[in-house]
Structure 1
Amino acid sequence: MSTSHKAHCLILPFPVQGHINPMLQFSKRLQSKRVKITIALTKSFLKNMKELPTSISIEAISDGYDDGGLHQAGTFVAYITRFKEVGSDTLSQLIQKLANSGCPVNCIVYDPFLPWAVEVAKNFGLISAAFFTQNCAVDDIYYHVHKGVIKLPPTQNDEEILIPGLSCTIESSDVPTFVISPEAERILEVMVNQFSNLDKVDWVLINSFYELEKEVTYFCRFGASSVFLTIYIDV
C-alpha cells in the first residue's frame, strides 16, 4: 500500500443504485481522509454502468447471475440466496488478490443486506463495519421486527403499530407492500437478517444525522458496541 494512505477500505454495497449512492458518497469522504478505497460491485451491475468513477478503484465480484443480476434470478429470495453462496467465494478471492498485489485490505464496509460479509472479514482478520443506507427510523422498525417486538404483517387492517423510539404510531397502510406479496415471509426474513450478526462487527454506520432523528437515535444500538451516524454529502 502507498505510504500516502492511512488504510485500505473495501466497500461492499448491495448492487442497486439506491444502496450504492450513499456508500459511494461515504467512500469519497473516507478518501478525502487519505483512506484508499476499493468498491466491489457485481459483474451484472457493472455491465449496465454507463460511467465509472475515476477517482475510486472498482473491482468485480460475482452474485451468481453475471448476465442479468436480480432480473435473471427471477425472485429476490433466489437472488439473495445465490449471492451469499457465490459472493462469499468471489469476495474472498478479491481480498486475496489485493493482498497479493501489495495493497492488502484493512477494513470491509458492507451493506447489511449482505450479512455474510462479516464472516468473510473475520476469516481474513479484517475490521468490519455495517453501513445502513436507510435512515434510523426504518432501521429501527426492522430491528424490532427482528427482536419480535413488532409483528408483521398486521393482523387487522386498522391495527396501529407502536414503534419503540418513535413518538407516533404507524398504521397497517404504512407497512411496506412487500409484506403482503407471495414471498412476504422470506423477503421480511432477509430484511431483518440485517441484524443477525451485528454483535460481531466492529462498527455500525447509519446514513443519517442526529438533528434529523434525535428520538430514534437512542434506540439504534442494535446490539453493537459502536454506532456512528454519517451524512450523505457529495465532496
Structure 2
Amino acid sequence: MEGKKTYKAHVMVLAYHGQGHINPMVQFSKRLASKGMKVTVSAMLSTTKAMKSASSAVIFESIYDDTTEGGVAAQGGFKAFLERFEASGSQNLTELIKKQEISEYPVKCLVYDANLPWALAIAKDFAIPGAAFFTQSCAAIASYYPMHYEILEKPLPLPAFSMPGLPPPKIPNLMSLGAVTGKHSPIIKQICKQFDDIENAEWILFNSFDKLEEEVVKWMSNLWTVRNIGPTVPSVYLDNRVENDYDYGFNMYKPSTEACMQWLNTRETGSVIYVSFGSAASLNADQMAEMGEALKQSTKSFLWVVKPTEQSKLPANFVEETSEKGLVITWCPQLEVLAHKAVGCFVSHCGWNSTVEAISFGVPVVAMPQFLDQMTNAYLVERVWGVGIQPKENEQNKTTAEEIGRCINEVMNGEEIRKKAIQWKSLAKEAIDENGSSDIHIDEIISRIVAL
C-alpha cells in the first residue's frame, strides 16, 4: 500500500473573484505544495468548481455559493456582491479553519487576497499569521498609498514613492460602489480598503521579484514586511521544478488552443503581433477601428483576441479582408502564445499578470493601458524597464492607427528594446530558480510557518 502523505504544515489561501486574482494565488499555492506544504484554496463556488482539475496537489473549498446567493452580476451590483461575500464568506471561512483544528494538520497561516482585508481579523482570531497577497505591482500599490491617507485625512507616515510623469489613473466603468463623495471615486475608496489594518499582517506578498521593482520595494520595506514571491508563472516555463505545471487552470473563456497554435506554427520566428486586452479591459468601437486599421496596414501577421462580448465592435468585413495574414479568435492560451517563437511583440492593456508574463517570456510590449494599475504598469514597461513603448493619445483621447503602427514597428524592429526584454526574461527565471530571491522568500515563509 502507498504510504500516507505527510506535510510540513497547512496553509489556507483565500482567493478573490476574477481570473487575474485567482491564477497568481493558485500558482503560489502550487509552489507551496511542491515544497511539502498542505494547501487549501478557499473561494467562491463557481471558482472552486472550475479549478478542481487545476492541481492534484492543492485542495479547493468553497466558502461562498455565488450561484445561489449571487455573483458580481446579481442584484445590487458589485457593492452588494462584496457585502454578501464578506458576510457569508467570513462565516464559512471561520468554520472551515475551525474544522481543521482537530485534524492532523491544523491551519498555521492564512494567505488572503488584499482585496479581502476582513480575512486578517479571522487569522488573528485563530492566533495564526495572516499574509496579504497583492495581485498588482508594488509600484501600483505605492501609487494608491497616498490616496489612502487622503481618504483618512491623515498625513503620510513617509514621503510618497516618486514616479515622475506618471499620469493619474483612469477609472473604469464598474457597477455601483456607492455615491461619489469627496475627492476620490468609490472604486478608489474600495481599492484603498486593501490597506485596512495591513500593518498587522505578518507578510505582504507580491507577484513580482526583487530586481524588477528594486527601488519601490526598498521604499515599501519601511512600512511593511514585503516579500516578492513571483513571477507566479507555471513552472514549466521557468524552473520546471513543479511537476506537470503547464497551465494556470482557470479561464473565463474557453481558449481556441488547437486553432491558435496550428496557425502560429505556420508563421516565421518573431513575425507575429499578438493583441489581447485581457479578461476585464475592452476597447470602444472607435479604438477597435483604429486597432484594426493598424493591423491591416502592417506588413506583419497578427493574432488578435476579441472576446465574445467585443465581436460586434470589429470593423465590417475585417476578418475576411485580413484572413491571409491575421487570425481573430475569442480567447487563447496566452502562456503558450507568448512562449511561441513566432510572436514578436505583445499589444497589451498591461494588466499585471500579462505584464509579468511578457517579462517572463522576453516579449516586447506595445502598452495601451485602459484603467487603474495598468497606467502604472505601462509606465514601468516604457520608462523603467525599457521593454516596450506606450503609444500617445490624441486630443480626443484616442490612439490613432498611425501611432499604433509606429509603435509596433519600433518594438518589432528595435534592437535595444528586444535586448532589454531578453535580459529581464533571464532575471525573471533567475528569481524563481533554486536559491533565487523569490525562492528564498518562499522558503523563509515556510520555515516560519513550520516553526509555529
Which residues of 2 match residues 31-70 of structure 1 at below 5 A? 31-47=33-49, 51-62=53-64, 66=68, 68-70=70-72
Q: Shift of residue 124 of structure 1? A: 0.9
The answer on whether the counterparts of 1:178 and 1:187 sit within 8 Å (CA) in structure 2 is no
Matched residue, 1:117: 119
State the structure with more CA Rg.
Answer: 2
Letter in 2 for 1:201: A
Q: Is 2:217 aligned against 1:217?
A: yes
Letter in 2 for 1:214: E
Task: Identify unmatched segments of 5+ residues in structure 1.
Answer: 152-162
The answer on whether the counterparts of 1:131 and 1:204 sit within 8 Å (CA) in structure 2 is yes
Q: Shift of residue 214 of structure 1? A: 2.2
Give distance in 2, aligned partners of 1:82 and 1:222: 35
Give distance in 1, aligned partners of 2:40 and 2:65: 18
CA 182–94 in structure 1, closer or farther in 2 if over 3 Å, else same: closer
Higher RCO (CA < 8 A, seq sep 6+): 1
The answer on whether the counterparts of 2:52 and 2:60 sit within 8 Å (CA) in structure 1 is no
Percentage identity across paired residues of the two chains: 37
The answer on whether the counterparts of 2:132 and 2:204 sit within 8 Å (CA) in structure 1 is yes
- Structure-2-length-normalised TM-score: 0.45
Which residues of 2 match residues 171-182 of structure 1 at below 5 A? 171-172=167-168, 174-178=169-173
State the aligned residue count: 220
Give distance in 1, aligned partners of 2:73 and 2:166: 32
Q: Is 2:198 aligned against 1:198?
A: yes
Instruction: Give the secondary-structure state (helix, strand or coil) at the position aligned to 1:146.
Output: helix
Give distance in 2, aligned partners of 1:118 and 1:43: 21
Letter in 2 for 1:11: V
Give distance in 2, aligned partners of 1:64 and 1:121: 23
Q: Shift of residue 71 of structure 1? A: 1.6
Letter in 2 for 1:169: G
Q: Is 2:92 aligned against 1:90?
A: yes
Task: Identify unmatched segments of 5+ residues in structure 2.
Answer: 154-158, 236-452
CA 170–176 in structure 1, closer or farther in 2 if over 3 Å, else same: farther
Between structures 1 and 2, the one with greater strand share? 1
CA 69–53 in structure 1, closer or farther in 2 if over 3 Å, else same: farther
Matched residue, 1:155: none
CA RMSD of aligned residues (A): 2.8
The answer on whether the counterparts of 1:92 and 1:120 sit within 8 Å (CA) in structure 2 is yes
Per-residue CA deviations over 1:86-132 (Å, capped at 9, x if unaligned) read 11101001111222343310000000100000001111111110011
Q: Is 2:160 aligned against 1:164?
A: yes
Q: Shift of residue 53 of structure 1? A: 2.6
Letter in 2 for 1:21: N
Per-residue CA deviations over 1:188-211 (Å, capped at 9, x if unaligned) read 222001011111111111111122
Q: Shift of residue 42 of structure 1? A: 1.2
Matched residue, 2:128: 126
- Structure-1-length-normalised TM-score: 0.82
